[in-house]
Amino acid sequence: MRLPLALLGVVVCSSWIVAADGDKSPQWHHWRGPDENGFAAKATPPLHWSATANIRWKAALPGKGSSTPIVWGERVFLMAAEKTNREAKPDELPKPDPRFTPKTEPPRHFYKFLVLGFDRNTGKKLWEKVAAVRVPHEGHHASHSYCAGSPTTDGQRLYASFGSFGTYCYDFNGKLLWSRDFGRMNTRLGWGEAVTPAIHGDSLLLNFDQEADSLLYCLDPATGNTRWAAKRNEKTSWNTPLVAEFGGKTQVIVNGTARIRSHDLATGKVLWSCGGMTTNAIPSPVRLGDSVLCMSGYGPGQVVSIPLDSRGDLGLDGTVNWRHKGGTPYVPSPLLADGRLYFTQLNDNLLTVLDAGTGKVLIDKERLPGVRNFYASPLGAAGRVYFVDRYGTTLVIKAGKEEVEVLATNKLDDAIDASPVAVGKQLFLRGEKFLYCIEEPSSEPRP
């Protein structure tokens, strides 16, 4: 039986989901947080930790993945892909598509595609479900995996997509409610997939940008039925749609190499488009008031601020609020916190901070000490910014400054590509080996 959201103690809002009492802090429903921009306004995560200090719990993880965990109430959810010992017979191997010439070799073994639920208080694994067992039709980049997309929830159901290997909906106890198979994706050079669903009210959005036949899907989240599928003249992009209500329209904004596009949520029709991005448009859009901020960093990258009341094709140099060129990220998405836009150059440790309203440069490609390369996106919380590098080191700096003021450097013996999550007084980090819950000991009850 499907329960109304009100009976589950949640309210669906324009761009985030909150508890019925209005407190957003207990929830992290989207890989970029309550407002889909990396900022946790009410969270107060620890400043210091190590492999032995302030670790509330850690849970061993199966397989591999850079999927970011999400948190709802007392549950933590994440995804993984695990190689099995079962080698495919010749007739079980996927046939290559002659239209594409990938640079990666597809595996010959079956993989298990896993969805997991954990107890937030103890780290106990509550359930592990095998969504699919498949032989992938293409390989992936050496730094990638078969599980880079993250789950999402509306507080009623859990949604997880493995792209070519299916899209799945579970209840919070791990019962499968529905599944969909949209067929193969063929990614640029065979580097792999990253499909992260976005939920907005009674619409579930999936970006299937790939090398041919790209589509943006809108599904009924209760049944998985397709409401519409918008064709997109785009190549592989790897970013997550942003949903924004503005001026009587609800827009679905998707970054892209050819164009940033806003689709009408009701129909999938393109409302406006804007050029200026580069190949491999990976960073996800963020919203600031009546504007959306998009960026890409592979090659001559830039940031562009686009009014949400735009209409039609703005071209490559059309009327926008502002543009900033250089210093933009390749894999990480930006952080938008208190009117400032934080991002790092390519995957490197060079920080740029802009006034998000005007594009004014506040920090220009300043080197962050003690950290190296990033795939994880930055997190903002408690007047701080957290940068997690690929080697398990987290640099914490003071937010709102016009120079880098280091507050702490924390190290774990684990590789980390997933983005950090802050909920209440806890910080969650998904490493290659473990899922970590980091919290300072307290005699007071946790909110």
Bridging pattern class, strands 39-40 and 379-381: parallel
Length of the chain: 447
Residue carrying structure tokens 């995996």: 145
- CATH code for position 13: 2.40.128.630
User: Are 216 and 263 spatial neighbours (Cβ–Cβ below 8 Å)?
Assistant: yes
Beta pairing partners, 75: 72, 119
Q: What is the pTM of this model?
A: 0.93
Per-residue pLDDT of the chain (447 residues; tens, 9 = 90+): 233 333 333 333 333 344 433 444 469 999 999 999 999 999 999 999 999 999 999 999 999 999 999 999 999 999 999 999 999 999 999 999 999 999 999 999 999 999 999 999 999 999 999 999 999 999 999 999 999 999 999 999 999 999 999 999 999 999 999 999 999 999 999 999 999 999 999 999 999 999 999 999 999 999 999 999 999 999 999 999 999 999 999 999 999 999 999 999 999 999 999 998 999 999 999 999 999 999 999 988 999 999 999 999 998 877 899 999 999 999 999 999 999 999 999 999 999 999 999 999 999 999 999 999 999 999 999 999 999 999 999 999 999 999 999 999 999 999 999 999 999 999 999 999 999 999 999 745 555
In a domain, 35, yes or no: yes
**Would you say residue 371 lies in a domain?**
no
pLDDT at 351: 98
Tokens for 360?
């004014």
Residue 395 lies in a domain: no
Residue indicated by tokens 């991005």: 277
What was the pLDDT predicted at 172? Answer: 98
- Residue 316: predicted pLDDT: 83
- State the residue range of the domain holding 91: 1-233+423-447
CA 223, chain centre distance (Å): 23
Which of helix, strand or coil describes residue 232?
coil
- Residue 410 lies inside a defined structural domain of this protein: no
For the chain, give the longest Cα–Cα distance.
62
Distance CA 387, CA 263 (A): 32
Residue 341, C-beta contacts closer than 8 angstroms, at least 6 positions apart: 286, 293, 303, 334, 335, 353, 354, 355, 356
CA dist 328 → 5, 141, 295, 343, 408 (Å): 39, 21, 7, 6, 24
Model confidence pLDDT, tens digit, residues 5-54: 333 333 333 333 444 334 444 699 999 999 999 999 999 999 999 999 99
pLDDT tens column, 68-95: 999 999 999 999 999 999 999 999 999 9
Residue 149 near residue 208 (C-beta atoms within 8 A):
no
Read off the amino acid at residue 96.
P
Could you give the number of structural domains in the chain? Answer: 1
Tell me the DSSP string of 138-206: S---TT--S-----EE-SS-EEEE-GGG-EEEE-TTS-EEEEE-------GGG-------EEETTEEEE
What order of strands is seen across the sheet that includes strand 421-423?
Answer: 55-60, 434-438, 426-430, 421-423
Please state, in angstroms and rounded to a whole number, the distance separating the CA atoms of residues 344 and 283.
Answer: 11
Give the list of residues 6+ apart from residue 409 with CB closer than 8 angstroms, or none: 369, 370, 371, 393, 394, 395, 396
Q: Assess if residue 307 is contained within a domain.
A: no
**In angstroms, what CA-CA distances link 88 with 64, 138, 147, 407?**
20, 14, 20, 51
For residue 10, tell me if it sits in a domain: yes
Reading the block at residue 229, the tokens are 């599928």
Candidates 249, 213, 333; CA nearest to 283 is 333
Question: What is the structure's pLDDT at 297?
Answer: 94
Which residue carries 């993880």 as its tokens? 61
In a domain? residue 284: no
Q: Strand ranges (DSSP E) for 290-392?
A: 291-296, 302-307, 312-313, 322-325, 335-337, 340-344, 350-355, 361-367, 379-381, 384-388
Q: 305 near 356, Cβ under 8 Å?
A: yes
DSSP labels for 52-102?
SSSEEEEEE--SB--PPPEEETTEEEEEEEEEEEEEPPGGGSPPPPTT---
The pLDDT value given to residue 445 = 54
5, 19 contact by CB (below 8 A) = no
